[in-house]
Structure 1
Amino acid sequence: MISATPLDQLPTGLVAEIADAGLDPARVHAMIADALDEDLPDGADDTTSAATISPEARGSGVFAAREPGTVSGLVIAALVFHYVMGDSVEVSDRLPEGSAVAEGDVVMRVSGPTRGLLTAERTALNFASHLSGVSTATAHWVAALEGTSARVLDTRKTLPGWRALQKYAVRCGGGVNHRFSLADMAMVKDNHVIASGGVVPALEAVRAAYPGLPVEVEVTDLDQLRELLAAGCERILLDNMDTATMAEAVRIRDASGDKAELEASGGLTLERAREVAETGVDYISVGALTHSVNVFDLGLDLVDEGAP
Protein backbone atom coordinates (compact mmCIF):
# COMPACT_ATOMS: atom_id res chain seq x y z
CA MET A 1 0.00 0.00 0.00
CA ILE A 2 1.34 3.46 -0.89
CA SER A 3 1.03 6.54 1.26
CA ALA A 4 0.02 9.31 -1.13
CA THR A 5 2.11 12.44 -0.66
CA PRO A 6 -0.01 15.61 -0.47
CA LEU A 7 0.73 18.37 -2.95
CA ASP A 8 2.08 20.72 -0.28
CA GLN A 9 4.64 18.09 0.76
CA LEU A 10 6.02 17.42 -2.71
CA PRO A 11 9.34 19.02 -3.74
CA THR A 12 8.70 22.72 -4.19
CA GLY A 13 11.06 22.89 -7.16
CA LEU A 14 9.06 20.29 -9.10
CA VAL A 15 5.76 21.95 -8.25
CA ALA A 16 7.09 25.35 -9.29
CA GLU A 17 8.42 23.92 -12.57
CA ILE A 18 5.01 22.51 -13.39
CA ALA A 19 3.34 25.83 -12.61
CA ASP A 20 5.91 27.75 -14.66
CA ALA A 21 5.11 25.47 -17.60
CA GLY A 22 1.52 26.73 -17.56
CA LEU A 23 0.10 23.63 -15.88
CA ASP A 24 -2.03 23.50 -12.75
CA PRO A 25 -0.07 21.56 -10.09
CA ALA A 26 -3.27 20.58 -8.28
CA ARG A 27 -4.70 19.17 -11.50
CA VAL A 28 -1.48 17.25 -12.24
CA HIS A 29 -1.47 15.90 -8.67
CA ALA A 30 -5.08 14.72 -9.10
CA MET A 31 -4.23 13.05 -12.43
CA ILE A 32 -1.37 11.16 -10.78
CA ALA A 33 -3.72 10.07 -8.00
CA ASP A 34 -6.30 8.84 -10.51
CA ALA A 35 -3.67 6.98 -12.53
CA LEU A 36 -2.26 5.22 -9.47
CA ASP A 37 -5.77 4.34 -8.31
CA GLU A 38 -6.19 2.35 -11.53
CA ASP A 39 -3.22 0.20 -10.45
CA LEU A 40 -3.97 0.21 -6.73
CA PRO A 41 -7.76 0.43 -6.34
CA ASP A 42 -9.04 1.22 -2.85
CA GLY A 43 -5.50 1.35 -1.47
CA ALA A 44 -4.58 -2.17 -2.58
CA ASP A 45 -1.00 -3.44 -2.56
CA ASP A 46 1.25 -3.93 -5.54
CA THR A 47 0.95 -7.64 -4.88
CA THR A 48 3.86 -8.78 -7.03
CA SER A 49 6.32 -6.33 -5.50
CA ALA A 50 5.03 -6.93 -1.98
CA ALA A 51 5.47 -10.70 -2.36
CA THR A 52 8.90 -10.69 -3.99
CA ILE A 53 10.76 -7.70 -2.57
CA SER A 54 11.77 -6.97 1.01
CA PRO A 55 10.35 -3.68 2.35
CA GLU A 56 13.91 -2.71 3.32
CA ALA A 57 15.36 -3.26 -0.17
CA ARG A 58 16.57 -0.24 -2.09
CA GLY A 59 17.20 0.04 -5.78
CA SER A 60 18.24 2.47 -8.44
CA GLY A 61 17.70 2.69 -12.14
CA VAL A 62 17.75 4.79 -15.24
CA PHE A 63 15.10 5.98 -17.60
CA ALA A 64 16.56 5.55 -21.07
CA ALA A 65 15.35 6.53 -24.53
CA ARG A 66 15.01 3.52 -26.79
CA GLU A 67 14.64 5.64 -29.91
CA PRO A 68 15.59 9.16 -30.98
CA GLY A 69 13.12 11.93 -30.23
CA THR A 70 12.15 14.89 -28.07
CA VAL A 71 11.27 14.25 -24.44
CA SER A 72 8.62 15.88 -22.28
CA GLY A 73 6.68 14.86 -19.18
CA LEU A 74 9.80 13.88 -17.27
CA VAL A 75 8.92 16.45 -14.62
CA ILE A 76 5.58 14.69 -14.14
CA ALA A 77 7.29 11.29 -14.02
CA ALA A 78 9.55 12.65 -11.29
CA LEU A 79 6.51 13.87 -9.39
CA VAL A 80 4.96 10.39 -9.62
CA PHE A 81 7.92 8.86 -7.76
CA HIS A 82 7.75 11.50 -5.05
CA TYR A 83 3.97 11.03 -4.80
CA VAL A 84 4.51 7.32 -4.09
CA MET A 85 7.62 7.55 -1.90
CA GLY A 86 7.85 11.10 -0.61
CA ASP A 87 11.36 12.13 0.44
CA SER A 88 12.65 8.54 0.39
CA VAL A 89 13.20 8.69 -3.37
CA GLU A 90 15.89 10.65 -5.19
CA VAL A 91 15.46 11.77 -8.79
CA SER A 92 18.59 13.02 -10.53
CA ASP A 93 20.11 13.74 -13.94
CA ARG A 94 16.71 14.63 -15.38
CA LEU A 95 17.02 16.22 -18.81
CA PRO A 96 15.28 19.54 -19.44
CA GLU A 97 11.82 19.30 -20.98
CA GLY A 98 11.99 19.50 -24.77
CA SER A 99 15.47 17.97 -24.97
CA ALA A 100 16.39 16.14 -28.17
CA VAL A 101 17.69 12.65 -27.38
CA ALA A 102 19.31 9.76 -29.23
CA GLU A 103 18.65 6.07 -28.76
CA GLY A 104 20.24 4.93 -25.51
CA ASP A 105 20.42 8.36 -23.87
CA VAL A 106 19.69 8.43 -20.14
CA VAL A 107 16.94 10.96 -19.50
CA MET A 108 16.50 10.52 -15.72
CA ARG A 109 17.82 8.48 -12.79
CA VAL A 110 15.87 7.31 -9.74
CA SER A 111 16.85 5.64 -6.50
CA GLY A 112 14.80 4.65 -3.47
CA PRO A 113 12.80 1.78 -1.96
CA THR A 114 12.65 -0.93 -4.63
CA ARG A 115 8.99 -1.70 -3.99
CA GLY A 116 8.07 1.94 -4.49
CA LEU A 117 10.13 2.29 -7.65
CA LEU A 118 8.38 -0.67 -9.26
CA THR A 119 4.95 0.46 -8.05
CA ALA A 120 5.44 3.91 -9.57
CA GLU A 121 7.24 2.75 -12.72
CA ARG A 122 4.31 2.21 -15.07
CA THR A 123 2.44 5.37 -14.12
CA ALA A 124 5.61 7.45 -14.54
CA LEU A 125 6.29 5.85 -17.91
CA ASN A 126 2.70 6.32 -19.08
CA PHE A 127 2.93 10.08 -18.54
CA ALA A 128 6.43 10.54 -19.96
CA SER A 129 6.09 8.13 -22.89
CA HIS A 130 2.84 9.62 -24.15
CA LEU A 131 3.88 13.23 -23.74
CA SER A 132 7.28 12.56 -25.31
CA GLY A 133 5.42 11.01 -28.24
CA VAL A 134 3.51 14.27 -28.69
CA SER A 135 6.62 16.43 -28.42
CA THR A 136 8.53 14.14 -30.79
CA ALA A 137 5.80 14.27 -33.43
CA THR A 138 5.62 18.05 -33.07
CA ALA A 139 9.38 18.40 -33.43
CA HIS A 140 9.23 16.47 -36.72
CA TRP A 141 6.74 19.00 -38.10
CA VAL A 142 8.77 21.93 -36.79
CA ALA A 143 11.85 20.55 -38.54
CA ALA A 144 9.91 20.14 -41.79
CA LEU A 145 8.85 23.81 -41.64
CA GLU A 146 12.31 25.15 -40.81
CA GLY A 147 13.25 28.11 -42.96
CA THR A 148 9.64 29.09 -43.68
CA SER A 149 7.43 31.51 -41.75
CA ALA A 150 4.76 28.87 -41.05
CA ARG A 151 4.23 27.49 -37.57
CA VAL A 152 2.66 24.20 -36.58
CA LEU A 153 -0.50 24.33 -34.46
CA ASP A 154 -2.25 21.72 -32.37
CA THR A 155 -6.06 21.34 -32.19
CA ARG A 156 -8.74 20.42 -29.64
CA LYS A 157 -8.53 16.79 -30.79
CA THR A 158 -7.05 15.77 -27.47
CA LEU A 159 -7.60 12.92 -25.03
CA PRO A 160 -10.37 13.77 -22.56
CA GLY A 161 -8.79 15.21 -19.44
CA TRP A 162 -5.33 15.39 -21.00
CA ARG A 163 -5.67 18.60 -23.04
CA ALA A 164 -3.43 20.78 -20.88
CA LEU A 165 -0.71 18.11 -20.77
CA GLN A 166 -0.85 17.36 -24.49
CA LYS A 167 -0.74 21.04 -25.41
CA TYR A 168 2.18 21.44 -23.02
CA ALA A 169 3.99 18.64 -24.87
CA VAL A 170 3.30 20.40 -28.18
CA ARG A 171 5.06 23.48 -26.79
CA CYS A 172 7.98 21.31 -25.68
CA GLY A 173 8.28 20.09 -29.27
CA GLY A 174 8.40 23.64 -30.62
CA GLY A 175 4.78 23.92 -31.73
CA VAL A 176 2.16 26.57 -31.01
CA ASN A 177 -1.10 26.06 -29.16
CA HIS A 178 -4.41 26.82 -30.83
CA ARG A 179 -7.38 27.73 -28.66
CA PHE A 180 -7.65 25.75 -25.45
CA SER A 181 -11.43 25.81 -25.17
CA LEU A 182 -14.58 26.85 -26.99
CA ALA A 183 -14.64 30.05 -24.94
CA ASP A 184 -11.24 31.64 -25.56
CA MET A 185 -11.60 31.97 -29.34
CA ALA A 186 -14.50 31.68 -31.77
CA MET A 187 -13.93 29.33 -34.69
CA VAL A 188 -16.65 29.51 -37.33
CA LYS A 189 -16.73 26.22 -39.23
CA ASP A 190 -18.83 24.93 -42.10
CA ASN A 191 -21.86 24.01 -39.99
CA HIS A 192 -21.87 27.46 -38.37
CA VAL A 193 -21.69 29.03 -41.83
CA ILE A 194 -24.66 26.99 -43.05
CA ALA A 195 -26.67 27.83 -39.94
CA SER A 196 -25.82 31.54 -40.19
CA GLY A 197 -26.38 31.97 -43.92
CA GLY A 198 -22.80 32.68 -44.99
CA VAL A 199 -19.28 33.39 -43.80
CA VAL A 200 -19.77 37.13 -43.31
CA PRO A 201 -23.10 36.86 -41.44
CA ALA A 202 -21.46 34.28 -39.17
CA LEU A 203 -18.47 36.57 -38.56
CA GLU A 204 -20.73 39.52 -37.80
CA ALA A 205 -22.84 37.44 -35.43
CA VAL A 206 -19.79 36.50 -33.38
CA ARG A 207 -18.54 40.09 -33.31
CA ALA A 208 -21.93 41.31 -32.11
CA ALA A 209 -22.26 38.66 -29.41
CA TYR A 210 -18.66 38.70 -28.16
CA PRO A 211 -16.95 42.01 -28.96
CA GLY A 212 -13.18 41.74 -28.78
CA LEU A 213 -13.09 37.93 -28.87
CA PRO A 214 -10.61 36.56 -31.43
CA VAL A 215 -12.45 35.04 -34.41
CA GLU A 216 -11.35 32.57 -37.06
CA VAL A 217 -13.58 31.57 -39.96
CA GLU A 218 -13.23 28.47 -42.11
CA VAL A 219 -13.48 28.77 -45.90
CA THR A 220 -13.68 26.11 -48.55
CA ASP A 221 -13.20 28.29 -51.62
CA LEU A 222 -11.57 31.54 -52.71
CA ASP A 223 -14.84 33.46 -53.05
CA GLN A 224 -15.47 33.00 -49.34
CA LEU A 225 -11.91 34.13 -48.69
CA ARG A 226 -12.47 37.35 -50.63
CA GLU A 227 -15.69 38.05 -48.70
CA LEU A 228 -13.93 37.67 -45.38
CA LEU A 229 -10.97 39.82 -46.40
CA ALA A 230 -13.38 42.57 -47.36
CA ALA A 231 -15.06 42.22 -43.96
CA GLY A 232 -11.74 42.51 -42.13
CA CYS A 233 -11.63 38.99 -40.70
CA GLU A 234 -8.48 38.59 -38.63
CA ARG A 235 -7.86 34.89 -39.18
CA ILE A 236 -9.05 32.53 -41.90
CA LEU A 237 -8.79 28.75 -42.03
CA LEU A 238 -8.22 27.21 -45.46
CA ASP A 239 -10.01 23.89 -45.23
CA ASN A 240 -8.87 20.90 -47.29
CA MET A 241 -7.44 22.99 -50.11
CA ASP A 242 -4.81 21.70 -52.49
CA THR A 243 -1.42 23.37 -52.54
CA ALA A 244 -2.07 25.51 -55.62
CA THR A 245 -5.31 26.89 -54.18
CA MET A 246 -3.61 27.73 -50.88
CA ALA A 247 -0.87 29.56 -52.76
CA GLU A 248 -3.53 31.55 -54.61
CA ALA A 249 -5.24 32.33 -51.31
CA VAL A 250 -1.99 33.78 -49.99
CA ARG A 251 -1.54 35.82 -53.17
CA ILE A 252 -5.08 37.22 -52.86
CA ARG A 253 -4.51 38.09 -49.19
CA ASP A 254 -1.21 39.79 -49.92
CA ALA A 255 -2.60 41.72 -52.91
CA SER A 256 -5.47 43.00 -50.80
CA GLY A 257 -3.09 44.54 -48.28
CA ASP A 258 -4.99 42.76 -45.53
CA LYS A 259 -3.10 41.39 -42.53
CA ALA A 260 -5.41 38.40 -41.98
CA GLU A 261 -3.54 35.31 -40.84
CA LEU A 262 -4.08 32.17 -42.92
CA GLU A 263 -4.18 28.68 -41.45
CA ALA A 264 -3.97 25.48 -43.53
CA SER A 265 -5.96 22.54 -42.20
CA GLY A 266 -7.34 19.19 -43.27
CA GLY A 267 -5.69 16.23 -44.93
CA LEU A 268 -2.17 17.40 -44.22
CA THR A 269 0.73 15.00 -43.86
CA LEU A 270 4.33 15.41 -42.81
CA GLU A 271 5.35 14.63 -46.41
CA ARG A 272 3.33 17.65 -47.61
CA ALA A 273 4.37 19.96 -44.80
CA ARG A 274 7.13 21.75 -46.64
CA GLU A 275 5.21 22.44 -49.83
CA VAL A 276 2.24 23.75 -47.85
CA ALA A 277 4.46 26.01 -45.73
CA GLU A 278 6.11 27.40 -48.85
CA THR A 279 2.74 28.71 -50.08
CA GLY A 280 3.12 31.44 -47.45
CA VAL A 281 0.41 30.37 -44.98
CA ASP A 282 1.01 31.47 -41.41
CA TYR A 283 -0.05 28.28 -39.64
CA ILE A 284 -0.49 24.59 -40.31
CA SER A 285 -2.84 22.86 -37.87
CA VAL A 286 -2.31 19.16 -37.24
CA GLY A 287 -4.79 17.12 -35.21
CA ALA A 288 -2.53 14.07 -35.41
CA LEU A 289 -0.08 15.71 -32.98
CA THR A 290 -2.45 14.69 -30.20
CA HIS A 291 -5.25 12.44 -31.44
CA SER A 292 -3.22 9.61 -32.96
CA VAL A 293 0.34 10.05 -31.80
CA ASN A 294 2.62 7.07 -31.18
CA VAL A 295 4.02 6.77 -27.68
CA PHE A 296 7.72 7.39 -27.33
CA ASP A 297 9.73 4.32 -26.30
CA LEU A 298 11.11 5.00 -22.84
CA GLY A 299 12.17 2.29 -20.42
CA LEU A 300 13.23 2.03 -16.79
CA ASP A 301 16.14 -0.33 -16.22
CA LEU A 302 16.38 -1.14 -12.52
CA VAL A 303 19.59 -2.18 -10.75
CA ASP A 304 19.11 -3.81 -7.36
CA GLU A 305 21.31 -2.33 -4.67
CA GLY A 306 20.61 -5.25 -2.39
CA ALA A 307 18.63 -5.74 0.79
CA PRO A 308 19.99 -5.92 4.33
Structure 2
Amino acid sequence: MFEIDTILRNALHEDIGLGDITTLATVAPGTAGRAQLVAKESFVLAGMDVARRVFTLLDDTVAFEKLREDGSRIERGEVLAWLKGHAAMLLQGERVALNLLQRLSGIATHTARFVAALEGTGTAVVDTRKTTPGLRVLEKYAVRVGGGRNHRTSLYDGVLIKENHVVAAGGIAPAVARARQRAPHTLRVEVETRNLQEVEEAVAAGADIIMLDNMAPAELRQAVLLIDGRALTEASGGVTLDTVREIAETGVDFISVGALTHSSPAVDISMLFQ
Protein backbone atom coordinates (compact mmCIF):
# COMPACT_ATOMS: atom_id res chain seq x y z
CA MET A 1 0.00 0.00 0.00
CA PHE A 2 2.87 2.42 0.78
CA GLU A 3 4.29 2.03 -2.73
CA ILE A 4 0.87 2.53 -4.32
CA ASP A 5 0.15 5.58 -2.18
CA THR A 6 3.44 7.11 -3.33
CA ILE A 7 2.47 6.54 -6.97
CA LEU A 8 -0.95 8.10 -6.41
CA ARG A 9 0.31 11.08 -4.42
CA ASN A 10 2.82 11.86 -7.17
CA ALA A 11 0.11 11.60 -9.81
CA LEU A 12 -2.22 13.88 -7.86
CA HIS A 13 0.56 16.40 -7.31
CA GLU A 14 1.35 16.33 -11.03
CA ASP A 15 -2.29 17.01 -11.94
CA ILE A 16 -3.41 19.41 -9.21
CA GLY A 17 -0.16 21.25 -8.53
CA LEU A 18 -0.88 24.52 -6.73
CA GLY A 19 -4.64 24.08 -7.07
CA ASP A 20 -7.54 23.27 -9.37
CA ILE A 21 -8.24 26.75 -10.78
CA THR A 22 -11.38 25.75 -12.65
CA THR A 23 -13.07 24.12 -9.66
CA LEU A 24 -12.04 26.95 -7.31
CA ALA A 25 -13.53 29.45 -9.75
CA THR A 26 -16.81 27.69 -10.48
CA VAL A 27 -17.85 25.45 -7.58
CA ALA A 28 -18.98 27.00 -4.30
CA PRO A 29 -17.13 25.72 -1.19
CA GLY A 30 -18.99 22.92 0.57
CA THR A 31 -20.95 21.85 -2.51
CA ALA A 32 -21.86 18.18 -2.29
CA GLY A 33 -21.40 15.92 -5.30
CA ARG A 34 -22.62 12.53 -6.44
CA ALA A 35 -21.17 10.79 -9.47
CA GLN A 36 -20.97 7.43 -11.17
CA LEU A 37 -18.24 5.65 -13.13
CA VAL A 38 -19.69 4.39 -16.41
CA ALA A 39 -18.20 1.97 -18.96
CA LYS A 40 -18.24 3.32 -22.51
CA GLU A 41 -17.16 -0.02 -24.03
CA SER A 42 -16.75 -3.70 -23.09
CA PHE A 43 -13.59 -4.76 -21.22
CA VAL A 44 -12.06 -6.66 -18.30
CA LEU A 45 -12.05 -4.47 -15.19
CA ALA A 46 -8.87 -3.79 -13.21
CA GLY A 47 -7.95 -1.04 -10.76
CA MET A 48 -11.11 -0.36 -8.79
CA ASP A 49 -9.35 -0.19 -5.43
CA VAL A 50 -6.70 2.03 -6.97
CA ALA A 51 -9.36 4.43 -8.21
CA ARG A 52 -11.04 4.45 -4.81
CA ARG A 53 -7.73 5.17 -3.09
CA VAL A 54 -7.19 8.24 -5.28
CA PHE A 55 -10.30 9.85 -3.84
CA THR A 56 -9.71 8.81 -0.23
CA LEU A 57 -6.20 10.24 -0.34
CA LEU A 58 -7.75 13.57 -1.28
CA ASP A 59 -10.58 13.30 1.26
CA ASP A 60 -11.19 10.29 3.49
CA THR A 61 -14.87 11.23 3.80
CA VAL A 62 -15.54 10.44 0.11
CA ALA A 63 -17.83 7.43 -0.22
CA PHE A 64 -16.89 5.04 -3.03
CA GLU A 65 -19.34 2.19 -3.60
CA LYS A 66 -17.98 -0.51 -5.90
CA LEU A 67 -20.62 -2.24 -7.99
CA ARG A 68 -18.17 -4.50 -9.88
CA GLU A 69 -14.92 -6.18 -8.82
CA ASP A 70 -11.59 -6.48 -10.61
CA GLY A 71 -11.60 -9.34 -13.09
CA SER A 72 -15.24 -8.79 -14.03
CA ARG A 73 -16.16 -8.65 -17.69
CA ILE A 74 -17.87 -5.34 -18.19
CA GLU A 75 -20.37 -4.42 -20.88
CA ARG A 76 -20.84 -0.98 -22.38
CA GLY A 77 -23.17 1.18 -20.32
CA GLU A 78 -22.57 -0.60 -17.00
CA VAL A 79 -22.17 1.52 -13.87
CA LEU A 80 -18.96 0.47 -12.10
CA ALA A 81 -19.21 2.57 -8.94
CA TRP A 82 -21.00 5.40 -7.17
CA LEU A 83 -19.12 8.25 -5.51
CA LYS A 84 -20.41 10.76 -3.00
CA GLY A 85 -18.60 13.58 -1.26
CA HIS A 86 -17.36 17.14 -1.64
CA ALA A 87 -17.74 18.05 -5.31
CA ALA A 88 -14.31 19.69 -5.38
CA MET A 89 -12.61 16.50 -4.24
CA LEU A 90 -14.46 14.39 -6.79
CA LEU A 91 -13.47 16.77 -9.56
CA GLN A 92 -9.82 16.93 -8.49
CA GLY A 93 -9.48 13.15 -8.31
CA GLU A 94 -11.39 12.40 -11.49
CA ARG A 95 -8.58 12.44 -14.06
CA VAL A 96 -5.98 10.54 -12.03
CA ALA A 97 -8.52 7.87 -11.05
CA LEU A 98 -9.78 7.47 -14.61
CA ASN A 99 -6.30 7.46 -16.15
CA LEU A 100 -5.25 4.58 -13.94
CA LEU A 101 -8.54 2.67 -14.14
CA GLN A 102 -8.61 2.93 -17.93
CA ARG A 103 -4.92 1.98 -18.25
CA LEU A 104 -5.09 -1.04 -15.94
CA SER A 105 -8.36 -2.28 -17.43
CA GLY A 106 -6.82 -1.99 -20.89
CA ILE A 107 -3.89 -4.19 -19.82
CA ALA A 108 -6.21 -6.74 -18.20
CA THR A 109 -8.38 -6.83 -21.32
CA HIS A 110 -5.44 -7.28 -23.69
CA THR A 111 -3.95 -9.98 -21.46
CA ALA A 112 -7.27 -11.85 -21.33
CA ARG A 113 -7.27 -12.05 -25.13
CA PHE A 114 -3.85 -13.72 -25.12
CA VAL A 115 -4.94 -16.10 -22.37
CA ALA A 116 -8.01 -17.08 -24.39
CA ALA A 117 -5.87 -17.67 -27.48
CA LEU A 118 -3.68 -20.09 -25.48
CA GLU A 119 -6.54 -22.08 -23.95
CA GLY A 120 -5.82 -25.81 -23.92
CA THR A 121 -2.14 -25.53 -24.90
CA GLY A 122 -0.65 -25.66 -21.41
CA THR A 123 1.48 -22.61 -22.24
CA ALA A 124 1.32 -19.52 -20.01
CA VAL A 125 1.60 -15.93 -21.17
CA VAL A 126 3.90 -13.71 -19.08
CA ASP A 127 4.70 -10.02 -19.06
CA THR A 128 8.09 -8.26 -19.24
CA ARG A 129 9.80 -5.22 -17.69
CA LYS A 130 8.57 -3.08 -20.59
CA THR A 131 6.29 -1.11 -18.31
CA THR A 132 5.45 2.56 -17.79
CA PRO A 133 8.13 4.03 -15.48
CA GLY A 134 6.69 4.33 -11.98
CA LEU A 135 3.64 2.17 -12.71
CA ARG A 136 5.20 -1.32 -12.86
CA VAL A 137 3.59 -2.70 -9.71
CA LEU A 138 0.14 -1.64 -10.93
CA GLU A 139 0.60 -2.77 -14.52
CA LYS A 140 1.88 -6.20 -13.48
CA TYR A 141 -1.13 -6.48 -11.16
CA ALA A 142 -3.38 -5.81 -14.16
CA VAL A 143 -1.68 -8.62 -16.09
CA ARG A 144 -2.58 -11.03 -13.28
CA VAL A 145 -6.17 -9.77 -13.27
CA GLY A 146 -6.34 -10.59 -16.98
CA GLY A 147 -5.21 -14.16 -16.31
CA GLY A 148 -1.55 -13.75 -17.27
CA ARG A 149 1.52 -14.38 -15.16
CA ASN A 150 4.35 -12.11 -14.10
CA HIS A 151 7.93 -12.47 -15.23
CA ARG A 152 10.55 -11.01 -12.87
CA THR A 153 9.48 -7.72 -11.35
CA SER A 154 12.81 -5.90 -11.52
CA LEU A 155 16.53 -6.49 -11.89
CA TYR A 156 16.79 -7.58 -8.26
CA ASP A 157 14.45 -10.57 -8.21
CA GLY A 158 15.57 -12.75 -11.10
CA VAL A 159 18.69 -13.68 -13.06
CA LEU A 160 18.16 -13.18 -16.79
CA ILE A 161 21.39 -13.39 -18.79
CA LYS A 162 20.79 -11.58 -22.04
CA GLU A 163 22.85 -11.03 -25.18
CA ASN A 164 24.84 -8.12 -23.78
CA HIS A 165 25.58 -9.97 -20.54
CA VAL A 166 26.92 -12.90 -22.57
CA VAL A 167 29.22 -10.61 -24.54
CA ALA A 168 30.44 -8.83 -21.42
CA ALA A 169 30.99 -12.12 -19.55
CA GLY A 170 32.81 -13.83 -22.41
CA GLY A 171 30.19 -16.45 -23.23
CA ILE A 172 27.15 -18.28 -21.94
CA ALA A 173 29.07 -20.81 -19.84
CA PRO A 174 31.09 -18.27 -17.82
CA ALA A 175 28.04 -16.05 -17.43
CA VAL A 176 25.98 -18.90 -15.94
CA ALA A 177 28.89 -20.02 -13.74
CA ARG A 178 29.30 -16.54 -12.28
CA ALA A 179 25.57 -16.22 -11.76
CA ARG A 180 25.57 -19.47 -9.79
CA GLN A 181 28.37 -18.16 -7.58
CA ARG A 182 26.70 -14.83 -6.82
CA ALA A 183 22.94 -15.39 -6.93
CA PRO A 184 21.03 -16.96 -4.02
CA HIS A 185 20.13 -20.61 -4.51
CA THR A 186 16.46 -19.59 -4.44
CA LEU A 187 16.75 -17.74 -7.76
CA ARG A 188 16.50 -19.51 -11.09
CA VAL A 189 19.00 -18.64 -13.81
CA GLU A 190 17.55 -17.84 -17.22
CA VAL A 191 19.57 -17.44 -20.42
CA GLU A 192 18.48 -15.71 -23.60
CA THR A 193 19.40 -17.61 -26.78
CA ARG A 194 19.11 -16.66 -30.44
CA ASN A 195 19.88 -19.94 -32.22
CA LEU A 196 20.22 -23.68 -31.62
CA GLN A 197 23.96 -23.46 -30.95
CA GLU A 198 23.32 -21.06 -28.09
CA VAL A 199 20.53 -23.33 -26.85
CA GLU A 200 23.02 -26.19 -26.65
CA GLU A 201 25.45 -23.96 -24.73
CA ALA A 202 22.74 -22.89 -22.29
CA VAL A 203 21.70 -26.50 -21.65
CA ALA A 204 25.32 -27.56 -21.12
CA ALA A 205 25.84 -24.64 -18.72
CA GLY A 206 22.90 -25.79 -16.61
CA ALA A 207 20.46 -22.92 -17.19
CA ASP A 208 17.13 -23.34 -15.38
CA ILE A 209 15.15 -21.45 -18.03
CA ILE A 210 16.08 -20.91 -21.65
CA MET A 211 14.60 -17.99 -23.54
CA LEU A 212 14.19 -18.66 -27.25
CA ASP A 213 14.35 -15.20 -28.75
CA ASN A 214 12.81 -14.33 -32.11
CA MET A 215 12.82 -17.92 -33.37
CA ALA A 216 10.43 -19.15 -36.05
CA PRO A 217 8.01 -21.94 -35.04
CA ALA A 218 10.07 -24.64 -36.78
CA GLU A 219 13.20 -23.60 -34.89
CA LEU A 220 11.25 -23.38 -31.65
CA ARG A 221 10.15 -27.00 -32.07
CA GLN A 222 13.76 -28.06 -32.63
CA ALA A 223 14.86 -26.13 -29.55
CA VAL A 224 12.18 -27.71 -27.36
CA LEU A 225 13.25 -31.17 -28.53
CA LEU A 226 16.89 -30.33 -27.94
CA ILE A 227 16.24 -29.09 -24.40
CA ASP A 228 14.12 -32.18 -23.71
CA GLY A 229 12.78 -31.06 -20.35
CA ARG A 230 16.19 -30.19 -18.90
CA ALA A 231 15.12 -26.56 -18.57
CA LEU A 232 11.92 -24.56 -18.79
CA THR A 233 11.41 -22.85 -22.14
CA GLU A 234 10.25 -19.32 -22.90
CA ALA A 235 9.52 -17.99 -26.38
CA SER A 236 9.95 -14.26 -26.82
CA GLY A 237 10.06 -11.56 -29.47
CA GLY A 238 7.40 -9.97 -31.64
CA VAL A 239 4.54 -12.13 -30.37
CA THR A 240 1.05 -11.06 -31.45
CA LEU A 241 -2.46 -12.41 -31.02
CA ASP A 242 -2.21 -13.77 -34.54
CA THR A 243 0.97 -15.76 -33.83
CA VAL A 244 0.73 -16.71 -30.15
CA ARG A 245 -1.24 -19.94 -30.65
CA GLU A 246 1.19 -21.31 -33.25
CA ILE A 247 4.10 -20.48 -30.96
CA ALA A 248 2.45 -22.25 -28.02
CA GLU A 249 1.88 -25.37 -30.11
CA THR A 250 5.66 -25.79 -30.44
CA GLY A 251 5.64 -26.98 -26.82
CA VAL A 252 7.19 -24.01 -25.01
CA ASP A 253 6.29 -23.50 -21.36
CA PHE A 254 5.96 -19.72 -21.44
CA ILE A 255 5.50 -16.95 -23.97
CA SER A 256 6.60 -13.48 -22.90
CA VAL A 257 4.74 -10.58 -24.46
CA GLY A 258 6.01 -7.04 -23.93
CA ALA A 259 2.91 -5.67 -25.64
CA LEU A 260 0.80 -6.60 -22.61
CA THR A 261 2.14 -3.54 -20.82
CA HIS A 262 3.71 -1.33 -23.46
CA SER A 263 1.01 -1.43 -26.12
CA SER A 264 -2.34 -2.20 -24.48
CA PRO A 265 -4.87 0.50 -25.43
CA ALA A 266 -6.70 2.15 -22.54
CA VAL A 267 -10.41 1.45 -22.30
CA ASP A 268 -13.07 4.17 -22.19
CA ILE A 269 -14.61 5.00 -18.81
CA SER A 270 -16.36 8.22 -17.78
CA MET A 271 -17.20 9.84 -14.46
CA LEU A 272 -20.57 11.55 -14.67
CA PHE A 273 -22.05 13.84 -12.02
CA GLN A 274 -25.69 13.24 -11.13
Which TM-score applies when normalising by structure 1? 0.84
Amino acid at match of 1:289: L
1:74/1:94 contact within 8 Å kept = no
Deviation at 1:211, TM superposition (A): 4.6
Task: Tell me, in whole angstroms, the C-alpha distance in 1 between the residues paired with 2:9 and 2:207.
Answer: 44
Q: Is 1:235 the equivalent of 2:209? A: yes
Show structure 2 runs of 5+ residues with no match: none
Match of 1:108, SS state, is strand
Match of 1:131 among 91, 94, 104: 104
1:243/1:279 contact within 8 Å kept = yes
Match of 2:85 among 112, 127, 144: 112
Task: Tell me, in whole angstroms, the C-alpha distance in 2 between the residues paired with 1:56 and 1:193.
Answer: 63
Partner residue in 2 for 1:39? 15
Match of 2:183 among 194, 210, 217: 210
Partner residue in 2 for 1:18? none
Q: How many residues align?
A: 273
1:84-233 aligned within 5 A: 84-87=58-61, 89-212=62-185, 213-233=187-207
Task: Tell me, in whole angstroms, the C-alpha distance in 2 between the residues paired with 1:259 and 1:61.
Answer: 56
Q: How much identity, in percent, do the aligned residues show?
A: 45
Amino acid at match of 1:185: G
Partner residue in 2 for 1:262? 233
Match of 2:242, SS state, is helix
Partner residue in 2 for 1:246? 220
Match of 2:227, SS state, is helix
Which TM-score applies when normalising by structure 2? 0.94
Match of 1:270, SS state, is coil
Task: Tell me, in whole angstroms, the C-alpha distance in 2 between the residues paired with 1:150 and 1:107.
Answer: 32
Task: Tell me, in whole angstroms, the C-alpha distance in 2 between the residues paired with 1:192 and 1:26.
Answer: 34
Task: Tell me, in whole angstroms, the C-alpha distance in 2 between the residues paired with 1:195 and 1:49.
Answer: 56
Deviation at 1:230, TM superposition (A): 3.2
Which range moves more in the overlay, 224-233 or 27-36?
A: 224-233
Partner residue in 2 for 1:4? none
Task: Tell me, in whole angstroms, the C-alpha distance in 2 between the residues paired with 1:139 and 1:53.
Answer: 41
Amino acid at match of 1:237: M
Task: Tell me, in whole angstroms, the C-alpha distance in 1 between the residues paired with 2:103 and 2:166.
Answer: 36
Task: Tell me, in whole angstroms, the C-alpha distance in 2 between the residues paired with 1:125 and 1:281.
Answer: 37
2:172/2:205 contact within 8 Å kept = no
Partner residue in 1 for 2:39? 65
Task: Tell me, in whole angstroms, the C-alpha distance in 2 between the residues paired with 1:149 and 1:162.
Answer: 29
Amino acid at match of 1:48: T
Show structure 1 runs of 5+ residues with no match: 1-24, 304-308
